[in-house]
Amino acid sequence: MNETNPALARMLLEQRDALFGYLLALVRNWNAAEELFQEVSLVVLQKGQEGLEVDRFGPWSREIARRLVLNYWKTSSRTRLVLSTPALDSLDRAFEEHDEKVEARRQERLHQLRRCLQSLPDHPRRVVDLRYEESLPLQEIARRLGRSAGSVQVALSRIRMQLHQCTKRLEGGPGASPA
């Protein structure tokens, strides 16, 4: 058996709340939504083992969920609420629009962060690169820079604060300090 596609597993975890919200909106029953989410997860992970690559995880996983919900409605004798196809389509569009807004905001924040990272002086940028690009532990960064692990931790904390203030300043939000 093939191994699970880690990208699909990661996207499933990242999208868990949105996907569960979609299911809950359709079935209006917490336990049923939880059970259906487990079924969607199994399908996603099985498709990952088959080597499937997905460009737009949200719509793809919602289609899996939609089909499972339709089956749930057919087989469940306790179900009183069944949405029409136009209502389902409308709900799908609403979730798609939400996904697009979230993705646009994520891209905007990523762009802001990149701008802020470029504005860092060389030494702080090197510390960030060692920690986040090379994924080095604090002790190794300290060894490479000839500093203590504690001083590296303090430096990273200050750099994170600078980056936070910089991104807030770029978006003009609260917490921004003047340049």
For 47-69, the pLDDT digits (tens) are 888 878 888 888 899 999 999 99
Residue 79 scores a pLDDT above 60: no
Residue 151 scores a pLDDT above 60: yes
Q: What tokens were used for 158?
A: 């200050």
Residue 41 scores a pLDDT above 50: yes
Domains and CATH numbers, the chain: 6-82 (1.10.1740.10), 120-171 (1.10.10)
Q: What pLDDT score does 174 carry?
A: 57
Cβ atoms within 10 Å of 34's Cβ, excluding its own = 13
Three-class SS state of 125:
helix
**If you average pLDDT over residues 129-154, what whole number do you get?**
94
Rounded mean pLDDT of the chain? 87
**If you average pLDDT over residues 158-175, what whole number do you get?**
86
Q: What pLDDT score does 179 carry?
A: 46
Write the DSSP assignment of 18-38 as a string of letters.
HHHHHHHHHH--HHHHHHHHH
For 14-26, the pLDDT digits (tens) are 999 999 999 998 8
Q: CA separation (Å) from 24 to 43, 58, 66, 74?
A: 18, 15, 11, 17
Query: For the whole prediction, is pTM greater than 0.75?
Result: no
The amino acid sitting at 76 is S
Q: Which of 67, 66, 19, 73 is nearest to 41 (CA)?
A: 19
Q: What pLDDT score does 162 carry?
A: 94
| Measured torsion, CA atoms of residues 63, 69, 71, 74, in degrees rounded to the nearest 10 | -140
Q: What tokens were used for 125?
A: 């940028």
For 80-135, the pLDDT digits (tens) are 656 777 887 888 888 888 888 888 888 899 999 999 999 999 999 999 999 999 99
